Amino acid sequence: MGGRAQMGKRIAEMGFNPGGGAINWFPGHMAAATRAIRDRLKLADLVIEVRDARIPLSSANEDLQSLLSCKRRIIALNKKDMANPNIMHRWVQHFESCKQDCLSMNAHLKSSVSQLLALVELKLKEVISREPTLLVMVVGVPNVGKSSLINSIHQIANSRFPVQEKIKCATVGPLPGVTQDIAGYKIANRPSIYVLDTPGVLVPSIPDIETGLKLALTGAVKDSVVGEERIAQYLLAILNSRRTPLHWDRLGNERMRTAPEFDGRNKNIFADSIPKRRRQLNVSDSDALYIEDLVREVQRTLYLTFKDFEGNLEEEGELESLIDAQLTALRKSFRIPSHRACDEARTMVSKKLLTLFRTGKLGPFILDNLPNSS
């Protein structure tokens, strides 16, 4: 294991929120969802496995890989717009070197989805099949963009085949001859190819705490399972260990605007953290910051706190002290009122920081390490 991978493991195991107890990622009954997908996968002629481009390995469902590896499969690394473009191509090359079709994409862009569908058609035209129809299934863990992809496919399918045909296929069940209707969108003729309109939502397999925190950071695991503050601490630990704040040194001496104008396009980015009643009436000036100005101020704060840090990042306790100082300093950056209790303020800071990361505002990142890289 390389030095960077060891660093990630150490960060994940840091003593954030001591006494918080073991994390119970998922209730046991959720495994039933994966069992149902296993049965449905038997119907599919090709599987699109959607992963988050920021965590190409951690967003895979390891429990299902042995089954998927036996199917025709395309790994779609979605959200490439939020992943580091400087190394994204190396991830695609990695999967291709493992004899695995892979494509980095953005499910919101028609051109990107069309490129994926072209690859689907190519792979299925190679199939010699007596079946009148071929079925494509979309699977992936939560929040990797399956629904966005299905919606984009629906739009493209309707433009190609305005009148969609209803399809039937034999289901896998205990009784022979049982059939069921499977709704899908036709994307091609000769052979007729349909993409099932209901994506399979997999329970993420979480072999270790580091994988779990990466899934939580990217939104595949509910914040309430881990706690917003712990996830934000993990994010800051990654940024500091990679010395990312030093990339924002140009902001160190900038004078930030204290009363930026309101930009209606960005007013809802923190909607979840604004009380519903206030949201219905209006949004305060602090919530109506230009998002660009807010991001710059947050980056500036992280740079200055990192620059002033004189401790050793390799020492767990000292890294935790830096993170604690950053969460305190960010309270001012996010305009958290001074009358807020400390715990409440830290939760608000954590939520807003996570929102910036998850919307790509802090910049493009890939959190996983390439295999065999240091």
3-state secondary structure of 228: helix
What average pLDDT does range 213-237 have in this prediction? 93
Which of the four pLDDT bands, split at 50, 70 and 90, describes residue 263?
A: very low
Per domain, the residue ranges of the chain are 28-196, 222-257+285-373
Query: Is residue 230 within 8 Å of residue 20, measured between CB atoms?
Result: yes
Contacts of 13 by beta carbon, 8 Å cutoff, 6+ apart: 209, 210
Which one-letter DSSP state was computed for residue 17?
S
- In this prediction, residue 69 has a pLDDT band, given cuts at 50, 70 and 90, of confident
Please state, in angstroms and rounded to a whole number, the distance separating the CA atoms of residues 228 and 45: 40
pLDDT digits 0-9 by tens, 71-113:
999 999 999 999 999 999 999 999 999 999 999 999 999 999 9
Measure the CA–CA gap between 347 and 148, rounded to whole angstroms. Answer: 29
**With contact defined as beta carbons under 8 Å apart, do 89 and 100 qualify?**
no
Digit-coded pLDDT (tens) for 204-216: 888 888 999 999 9
Architecture of domain 28-196: 3-Layer(aba) Sandwich (3.40)
Q: How many CB atoms lie within 10 A of CB 55?
A: 24
The alpha helices in 194-315, defined as continuous H runs, are 209-217, 223-226, 228-241, 276-281, 291-308
Compute φ and ψ for 371, nearest 5 degrees.
-55, 140
pLDDT in tens, 29-67: 566 777 778 888 888 999 999 999 999 999 998 888 888
User: How much is the pTM?
Assistant: 0.84
Query: Measured between alpha carbons, how far is 158 from 173 in angstroms, rounded to an integer?
Result: 31
pLDDT of residue 42: 85
In sequence order, which residues have a C-beta less than 8 Å from that of residue 281 and are 6 or more positions away? none
